[in-house]
Amino acid sequence: MFGELEIFLKEIDRSSKTFEEKHFEKLLVAAYYLGGKNVKPVKLEQIQENIKMSEEEILRVADKAFKKGYIKDSDPLDKNNNEWKMTPQGRKYVENLLD
């Protein structure tokens, strides 16, 4: 796991936010770091390897992130590829979290 990513995931775990909020933030922070700070798409499997969430949890949280406009499919023609890229809104959200 990336050192910075691990540090931020631990900070999220220690926060007083709800379980759901923590999972939402973990997904976005992991996608941000694993995607080279938004340079490349991230696969569900990469996220699952780095954060302690089941595939079902990740997909549920990803759906929320899609609806908020924070992530998008890396290939808009293949909705089932489970490979995502951050949107500018998502990148801004994560960068604000990390400040």
Contact of 74 with 15, CB cutoff 8 Å: no
Which residues are bridge partners to 83 per DSSP?
Answer: 43
Q: Is the pLDDT of residue 1 over 60?
A: no
Residue partners of 86: CB distance under 8 A and separation at least 6: 28, 31, 32, 35, 38, 70, 71, 94
More confident residue, 78 or 9: 9
Distance CA 9, CA 6 (A): 5
Contact of 73 with 83, CB cutoff 8 Å: yes
Q: Is the pLDDT of residue 79 over 80?
A: no
More confident residue, 73 or 69: 69
What percent of the chain shows pLDDT beyond 70? 93
Distance CA 77, CA 13 (A): 35
- For the chain, domains (ranges, CATH) are 3-98 (1.10.10.10)
